[in-house]
Amino acid sequence: MVTVELTRFRVASQRAEEMLAARPAMLRDFEADREGFLDARLVQLPDDEWVDIVFWRSPEDLAASRAKGGNLPYIRAFFELIDELVSSEEGRVLDGRVR
């Protein structure tokens, strides 16, 4: 069953464009380095908050990714633009398709 990671974070509004510009390279690093990475969606919320919805093949793949942290330059660059981690949750996808 597909695992979903929900990470809510804040990025100052003056750095939002920089964060969005850094995202494609970060995702390429994820695709190259993170076993079980399936897809990701970024959602903008009010008050400089964002939710990153990341889909993983399994909870073990998510755990392995978390252990790697910002191990590659573009992943680290994206993470460094985050001002505050609000929450991080893990769940299972019970319906629908994930690419």
Whether the model clears a pTM of 0.95, i.e. scores above it, the answer is no
pLDDT value of residue 43: 98
Q: Which CATH number goes with the domain that contains 51?
A: 3.30.70.100
Does residue 98 sit within a domain?
no
Does residue 52 sit within a domain?
yes
pLDDT value of residue 27: 98
pLDDT value of residue 92: 95
The domain tally of the chain equals: 1
Does residue 99 sit within a domain?
no
Mean pLDDT over 76-94 rounds to 96
Does residue 12 sit within a domain?
yes
Lowest mean pLDDT of 11-15, 23-27, 56-60, 91-95, name the range: 91-95
Does residue 33 sit within a domain?
yes
pLDDT digits (tens, 9 = 90+) for 4-43: 999 999 999 999 999 999 999 999 999 999 999 999 999 9
Does residue 30 sit within a domain?
yes
DSSP track, 17-49: HHHHHHHHHHHHHHHHH-TTEEEEEEEE-STTE
